[in-house]
Amino acid sequence: MRKLVSGLFLLLSPWVGSAAAMAAPDDRAALWWSHVQILASDAYEGRGTGKPGYDKAADYVIGQLRALGLQPAGTDGYRQSVAFVEQVILADGSSARLVGPQGATPLSVPGDIIFSGSGGPVPEALDAPLVFAGYGLHLPEAGHDDFAGLDLKGKIVVVLSGGPSSISGALKSHARSERAGWLAKRGALGLIQLVTPRQVEIPWGRRTALSSQPALFFKDAALRDAATPFLTAQFDPAKSALLFAGSGHDFAQIAAAADQSAPVPSFALAQRLDARVATRRAELSSPNIIAVMPGTDRHLKKDYVVLSAHLDGYGIGTPIDGDAIYNGAIDNASGVASLLEIARALRQGKVKPKRSILFAFVTAEEKGLLGSTYFARRPTVPRKAMVADLNFDMALPIFPLTSVTPIGYDQSSLGQDAAAVSAQMNLPITPDPFPDRNVFIRSDQYSFIRRASPRCSSNMASRRTRRRRRWRRPGVPTSTIRRRTMRTSR
């Protein structure tokens, strides 16, 4: 078991403070910490989706919700079961090579290229021409389209990290997230994602080590991004020049331009990718846990404010110092504990919310936001009645809370509320220092943003929190999603 991070419960005071003052702050911290300690203990085996440790964690959460008197709002009591297919890419039986006018270049799998098992079923074999599409951003509403004029049908599309600095990080992240589904609809067969050597965030060696991990996708094909088998891959940043051989373009030059956010061209590459992908598949299911606390206002109670946190973790994986359990105390027992203690505060406090509060403990976040996607697509309350989502992922109460970093803050009507609360608490708002790291789309708030079901959505804790950064609150991209104003009556 890894060391749990100790600290005080600080994050939620703006939400809890006005509603509840039933326990001294130290007691509230202790209650919160007790959930973290239990859920992150070895007995819960890191709460891997579909694994016994997750089911045990689900039982724990349901026990807490029942004790708090919250109503079940799943499809089977508190549970909303989600059916998945687990897909593992097998190194044995997989192969790839680049074929061009100069001959064939064999690639090691995984090594030079990593195939992704997420999204949907991977094609068993693929032999298709490559086309380079710059940053791979289709954002005509922002005056930018790397795919303009390219023939995508029957092609494998190669794209590069980064993008123009004139476009917000949130909007770029959104375009990247929609990309595979968008390309598949236009007849493309696959997508290879390149990262410039200077923009590497996760070392390539670690990526290849993780490439044998099982991926999940929805059993129900209607819920997948691509309706047909689609290959998604990543390429070793140190070897990306191989893809550009014979194209008349130099990868190093293109990468240097991308590092400056300068314009990058789109063009057909001189080579094809010839790949064979061996997989192992199995079906499994895992529940979201959903509870509701009805609002007190006759009219407003039909609105739901969703509070979400993912209950799953990485489960059991590659041992580190002999320990194979990825306990996930911070990511995200901390967020689950936050929701449970908010529920307690709202139940026991004097002020009762006028709107209904829906608590969503979702599964398979680490597998690609799948549990929250499922809930946002198949909600157990009317979709239009969900007026906001506040997501809690990775509360890190290990530094003094001195400022707030709202992600997508300028694109959501929740930004105004964040500003008002921050001002009241004397916590300055600071901009996201790494707008290209896709944080906007990297937790469950994004599932609600994609469906545009809530009028506002935000994430209350950062996946990459550092000193002086405490919360991240993504919002709705204005250009893609209807902008509505959240009514502010309590």
Residues that bind Zn ion (CB under 5 A): 331-332, 393
Measured between alpha carbons, how far is 303 from 118 in angstroms, rounded to an integer?
Answer: 34
Task: Please report how close the Cβ of residue 259 comes to Zn ion at its closest, in angstroms.
Answer: 29
**Chain centre to alpha carbon of residue 473:** 13
Residue 256 CB coordination number (10 Å): 13
C-alpha–C-alpha distance, residues 464 and 298, integer Å: 40
Q: How far is the CB of 4 from Zn ion (least distance, A)?
A: 16
Nearer to Zn ion, 168 or 332 (CB): 332
Q: For the CB of residue 201, give the shortest distance to Zn ion in the complex, in Å.
A: 16
Among 417, 420, 432, CA closest to 470: 432
Shortest spacing between CB 443 and Zn ion, in angstroms: 6
Residue number with CB closer to Zn ion (82 or 113): 82
| Residue type present at position 304 | Y
Q: State which residue, 378 or 464, has the beta carbon closest to Zn ion.
A: 464
Cβ-Cβ contacts under 8 Å for 34 (sequence gap 6 or more): none
Are residues 120 and 184 in contact, defined by beta-carbon separation less than 8 angstroms?
no
Q: At closest approach, how far in Å is the CB of 392 from Zn ion? A: 9
Nearest to Zn ion of 341, 393 (CB atom): 393
Q: Which of 166, 231, 238, 170 is nearest to 199 (CA)?
A: 238
CB closer to Zn ion out of 110 and 287? 287
Whichever of 331 and 389 has its CB closer to Zn ion, that residue is 331
Nearest to 360 by CA among 65, 14, 19, 54: 65
Closest-CA residue to 49 (of 209, 224, 287, 334): 287
Please report how close the Cβ of residue 31 comes to Zn ion at its closest, in angstroms: 21
Least CB distance to Zn ion at residue 339 (A): 13
- Name the minimum Å distance from CB 341 to Zn ion: 18
Do 137 and 167 touch, CB atoms closer than 8 A?
A: yes
Cβ closest to Zn ion, residue 184 vs residue 330: 330
Q: Which residues contact 306 (CB under 8 A, 6 or more apart)?
A: 358, 360, 386, 388, 389, 390, 448, 454
Residue 192 CA to residue 172 CA, distance in Å, equals: 17
What stretches of 229-348 show up as alpha helix (H) in DSSP? 241-244, 251-259, 334-348
Query: What's the closest the beta carbon of residue 389 comes to Zn ion, in angstroms?
Result: 15
Instruction: State the nearest-atom distance from the C-beta of 445 to Zn ion, in Å.
Output: 11
- Shortest approach of Zn ion to residue 394 CB, angstroms? 5
Smaller CB separation from Zn ion, 393 or 432:
393
* 35, 84, 87 from 53: Cα distances, Å: 15, 17, 20
How far is the C-alpha of 137 from the C-alpha of 149, rounded, in Å?
13
CB-nearer residue toward Zn ion: 303 or 331: 331
Q: How far is the CB of 151 from Zn ion (least distance, A)?
A: 39
Place of tokens 């999940």: 216
- Which residue in 303, 290, 293 sits closest to 484, CA to CA? 303
Determine the Cα–Cα distance for residues 433 and 403; give it in Å rounded to an integer: 13
Conformation bin of residue 438: beta by default, left when phi > 0, alpha when psi is -120 to 50: left
Question: Within the chain, how many helices (H) and strands (E) appear?
Answer: 11, 18
The residues near 400 (Cβ < 8 Å, ≥ 6 apart) are none
Which residue, 58 or 226, is less far from Zn ion as judged by CB? 58
CA dihedral (162, 312, 339, 3) in degrees, to 10, reads: -90
Nearer to Zn ion, 49 or 240 (CB): 49
Instruction: Give me the least distance between CB of 161 and Zn ion, in Å please.
Output: 22
Q: β-pairing, 144-145 with 315-320? A: unpaired
Query: Alpha-carbon distance 411 to 171, whole Å?
Result: 9
